Amino acid sequence: MISFVLKNKNTTAFTSVRPVSYKLEELNKKLPALLKRLKIKPEIVAFAKQVHGAKVFDVKSGKFVNGREADGFITTKKNCLLLVFTADCLPVFLYDVKTGFIGITHCGWKSTIKNIVSRAVGKLKKKGSKVKDLRIVLGPRIKECCYEVSPEFALNFKEKYRNKGFCKRGGKLYFSLSDIVKLQLKKLGIPANNIEDTARCTCCEKKKYFSYRRDGKGTGRMVSGIIKR
C-alpha cells in the first residue's frame, strides 16, 4: 500500500503503491484506508486538478476549496495533508526542519521547465523559511533508464540547461526529470546533503507502481502526501 514513509520529528511523507489507484474521482472512497494505515488524522486535506503548470497554493485554513487547478501546495498549518497524484511524474516533498513548514509539488516535464519547485521554495521563504533549513525528498518517478524522448523534446530544455538531464544509449535519447530538479534546487542554494532521492523508477517497477509511459493513459495513479502533525 505504501512505497515509502518519511518520518522526521512531526512530519510524515509518503507515496502509495499498486494495486490501489488514487485518481481524483476515487479519492474520497479510497483515502480513508490509507490514512488509517499511516495513522494520520488530518483536519484539512488539500488536493488540486493538476494541469502541468507552476501554480502553488498556500493552504491557510479548512476553507480551502479542493479541485482548483494547481500542481503544488505549501502550508504552515499543523494537521494539513497536502496531496499530489502521479503515474511517472516526480513528486517533490519539501519540509523545514526548524519551522515545520511543508510543501509538495507535482513535477512533470512541463511543470519542471516552469520551475514549480522554485515557486514552492519561494513561498516557503516568504513565510520565514531559510534555505539551509529546507529538506527535499524526490519521490518515485520515471527515470532516465526508461524515459526515452525525441531530439525535439530536448529543445525545450536546451536554452536553460543545454544538454544537462539528457543521455544517449544505443542511439536513443533519455531524460532525467530529477537531474533538472536537482539543478534548480542547487541554484536556489539548497545543499546537496539536504536532498534525499528515493531513486525509484515507476516504469521499471511494474509490480509496485502505475506508469503512464508503460501502460498508457488508462493506468492508475499513486498518491503522494505530506503532513505536519
Domains of the chain, first to last: 2-142+181-228 (3.60.140.10)
Which residue's C-alpha cell is 516557503?
124
pLDDT by 10s per residue, the chain, length 229: 667 677 667 899 999 999 999 988 888 899 999 999 998 899 999 999 999 999 999 998 766 778 899 999 999 999 999 999 999 999 999 999 999 999 999 999 999 999 999 999 999 999 999 999 999 999 999 999 999 999 999 999 998 999 899 999 999 999 999 999 999 999 999 999 999 999 999 999 999 999 999 999 899 999 999 999 8
Answer yes or no: are the C-beta atoms of 226 and 12 closer than 8 Å: yes
Total-model pTM = 0.95
Write the burial class of residue 14 (CB in 10 Å: 0-12 exposed, 13-18 middle, 19+ buried): buried
Closest to 91 (Cα-Cα) out of 78, 106, 71, 69: 106
In DSSP terms, which residues pair with 15 in a beta bridge? 4, 224
